[in-house]
A = this chain, B = another copy of it.
Amino acid sequence: MRIVAISDSTHSAVDGKKTSLSQPNGGNGARTWTMSDIAEATGVSVKTVSRVVRGETGVGAKARERVSEFIAKVGYHPHLGARSMRQSMRDCIGVVIPARIDEVPVSQQFFTRLFAQLYQTFGLKGKYLCFDMNPYERGPADYARGLWEQRFSGCVLCGPLSTDDTTVHRIHASGAPYIALGRLDSFPECSCATVDYDLAAYQSTEYLIKRGHSRIAMLKGFEGYQPGVERLRGYMRALDAAGLAYDPKLVHSASFGANDLANRTYRLLIESNVTALIDASGAEDAESIRVGCQRAGRIPGRDIELLSWTYTDSAAVLKEACAHMWLPVWEAAVVGLEQFAEWFEGKRQGPIQVVFPPTLYEVVTKGEVQKPQHLFELLG
């Protein structure tokens, strides 16, 4: 067991010179060494110490060894704040939430997968991950503040973008590497990795129209966010292509915080002549849909045809549904993160554009998915 040597004969000259303000907790702790301390103690110049620390050439073998040993002995580490004033922080990736964390359904599953992926891509290479949880304490905060503050030099926007988001434009304009796990109509150049929700809605609607339905209801999530807009647009396009009129009463938005999915389902199903329902809520909540159907006196497969969206390949949210739309959100994120890592490391240029198409299944192989638990639900 070796504790940092506080006093050492080699540098008795600098003894008690100053109590650095930047000491962790300004107390009885071990002293914080600076390059000039090291230089003084080892009898070389600051620049030589710098060369050794940064592994540069231009230092004699003897001097290098002496400095290296001393550095190891006292446990010197360069001050990153000081370093960041001369160069950008290329060892820290920001992970920021561009939406209220309790407004969007960040599932436990998705979050831990994302974290594991970030661990593999960056953590294993010794890089830091810096999370900014975007508190929204007094109005929407600037979720990219860590970038402006130079805390990190690139970031992952983890979550859907609000339709009126402007921050992502500023990130883009800054030239910093970034990737949004979601796109934005108003900003097609946006660096992103996501799924084509518009197409998913279009194909869902088209499928049901082909099966003879003309009064198709849709339960959609993400009100106020881009994925919500895309759902509606794709739905309307499909209706339009089939020459059907759009009835706003047939589209409801469900919020994730309140558990009103069953209620929304019920209300949609008692609308006149509704014969089919697209569950594009993203909640993956079979029970609520079932309860809603039951309360409306509808039996799936007989009185009402269901089509539900899932984030899992070949899996169903509702066994009773006639078809299942798979949104490869995770798969897009993986590809996007790989490309982002290359951009961050300077091996490629940005922006990234990964938009995966959805896949419609009629037969499911993996059974029914569980209702996911969301991050904010774990609290108190």
Please determine whether A24 and B175 come into contact, CB atoms closer than 8 angstroms: yes
Once the chains are docked, how many angstroms separate the CA of A21 from the CA of B154?
A: 15
Q: Does A85 contact B (CB under 8 A)?
A: yes
Please determine whether B130 and A128 come into contact, CB atoms closer than 8 angstroms: yes
Q: Which of A121-171 contact B (CB under 8 A)?
A: 122-126, 128-133, 135, 137, 141-142, 145-151, 153-154, 164, 166, 169-170
Q: Does A61 contact B (CB under 8 A)?
A: no
Classify chain A's interface size.
35 or more
Please determine whether A85 and B88 come into contact, CB atoms closer than 8 angstroms: no
Q: Does A30 contact B (CB under 8 A)?
A: yes
Given A3-B173, A108-B108, A175-B27, verify A119-B101 contact (CB < 8 Å): yes
Q: Does A9 contact B (CB under 8 A)?
A: no
Once the chains are docked, how many angstroms separate the CA of A122 from the CA of B26?
A: 22
Q: Does A301 contact B (CB under 8 A)?
A: no
Once the chains are docked, how many angstroms separate the CA of A135 from the CA of B129?
A: 13
Once the chains are docked, how many angstroms separate the CA of A186 from the CA of B2?
A: 12
Please determine whether A129 and B119 come into contact, CB atoms closer than 8 angstroms: no
Contact of A21 among B21, B86, B141 (CB under 8 A): B86
Given A25-B177, A116-B376, verify A150-B111 contact (CB < 8 Å): no
Q: Does A80 contact B (CB under 8 A)?
A: yes
Please determine whether A375 and B119 come into contact, CB atoms closer than 8 angstroms: yes
Given A24-B174, A24-B176, verify A137-B126 contact (CB < 8 Å): yes
Please determine whether A175 and B130 come into contact, CB atoms closer than 8 angstroms: no
Please determine whether B78 and A81 come into contact, CB atoms closer than 8 angstroms: no
25 A-B pairs within 8 Å (CB atoms) are namely: A4-B170, A4-B173, A22-B85, A22-B86, A22-B88, A22-B150, A24-B150, A24-B174, A25-B153, A25-B177, A26-B175, A30-B170, A32-B148, A75-B148, A81-B83, A111-B112, A112-B375, A112-B378, A115-B115, A116-B378, A120-B380, A124-B135, A124-B137, A125-B135, A125-B137
**Pairs of residues from A and B, 8 with the lowest C-beta to C-beta distance, nearest first:** A123-B133, A81-B84, A29-B175, A24-B176, A77-B148, A25-B175, A27-B175, A116-B378
